[in-house]
Amino acid sequence: MKVLSGIQPTGRFHWGNYFGAIRQYIALQGNEQSYYFIADLHALTTVRNPAELAGYVRDAAMDLVALGLDPAKATLFRQSDVPEVTELTWLLMTITQMHLLEKCHAFKDKKAKGVAADAGLFTYPVLMAADILIYDSDKVPVGADQIQHIEVTRDIAQRFNSLYGETLHLPEAYVLDASAKVPGLDGEKMSKSYGNTIPIFDSPKKLRKLIMSIKTDSTPVESPKDPETCSVYELYKLLATPEQQAVLADRYRAGGMGYGEAKQALYDAAMEHFGAAFERRQQLEANPSIVEDILQQGAQTARRKAVEVVERVRAACGLSSSPVPFAR
């Protein structure tokens, strides 16, 4: 099974990113072939500061490797280091119907809000389709709210195949487990747009300060508390063993425990869970060439497959099998 997924570099990864997706990406990396790319071309629709974007890409790569993405098991690369994907995007746009793009969520949402949408946002789903199709992907890990992207990709591939013959491999969505609830500091879903996130690689001091700021109710220390309605406990369950969860739940129900004690337990569990990754992240920070080499090697692997697929598509369209080399 060939797995592919892209991650947008639009800010530092937080616990919601990790438990909602990254942890599952890493679990899938031992398959026949796993491609994971940092979607810097997609990020251009929202990040317009060059230095900021370069920093986000760098941080994303370091974070993923520190968290366990293994270049011996998976191919990690920058999207823009595979220029064939933009050529495939154009070839796909020539057969993509407007109505298919007009119904896509991102474009519809901006239009409904009266926000001007540029051509990049409108054609975003075609670039996404090229990202998927250029590696003959079998499975694409996505959240339930992103299944539409895979459906659009399949629609585009099927239309191309109907016009030019069986050329593109049709992928399927691999729906990520959404059972893990990841509340933010305010109790709402953890999201950068809400400003309620807990970054994975904050310093221990900053991490503890954030955890201690998690919103809780005003139940007195001496009173029993319901762990299942508390964001602190919801987060603790993501990090602790079933036995540890049971012990803390009993402390909640028995009374005599303040939320500060529960938050300290959450902090301790987070330090234990992410401790090794934090050390790896510091090592990579001190030796950035390690990750750059991983990205470059990943791009070479990805390009070998991308060239193969693009040549197949060019031939199907009636174009030359490969462009004439530029002579200086």
For the chain, domains (ranges, CATH) are 2-181+288-317 (3.40.50.620), 202-283 (1.10.240.10)
- What's the pLDDT score for residue 326? 53
Contact in structure between 101 and 125 (CB atoms under 8 Å): yes
Instruction: Give the pLDDT confidence of 189-217 residue by residue, as tens digits.
Output: 999 889 999 999 999 999 999 999 999 99
Residue 157 φ/ψ, nearest 5 degrees: -65, -40
Amino acid 113 reads K
Contact in structure between 179 and 237 (CB atoms under 8 Å): no
Query: Which CB contacts under 8 angstroms, 24+ apart, belong to 207-212?
Result: 207/267, 207/270, 207/271, 208/267, 210/185, 211/263, 211/266, 211/267, 211/270, 212/260, 212/263, 212/267
| Spatial strand order in the sheet of 172-175 | 75-78, 33-38, 2-7, 139-142, 172-175
Contact in structure between 220 and 254 (CB atoms under 8 Å): no
Residue 16 φ/ψ, nearest 5 degrees: -65, -40
- What's the pLDDT score for residue 325? 62
Please, what sign has the CA dihedral across residues 54, 59, 62, 65? negative
CA dist list (Å): 68 to 63, 160, 328:
9, 37, 43
- Report the catalytic residues: 110, 189, 192
- What's the pLDDT score for residue 87? 97
Instruction: Give the pLDDT confidence of 58-76 residue by residue, as tens digits.
Output: 999 999 999 999 999 999 9
User: Across the chain, which distance is largest between two alpha carbons, in Å?
Assistant: 80
User: In the chain, which residues have pLDDT < 50?
Assistant: none
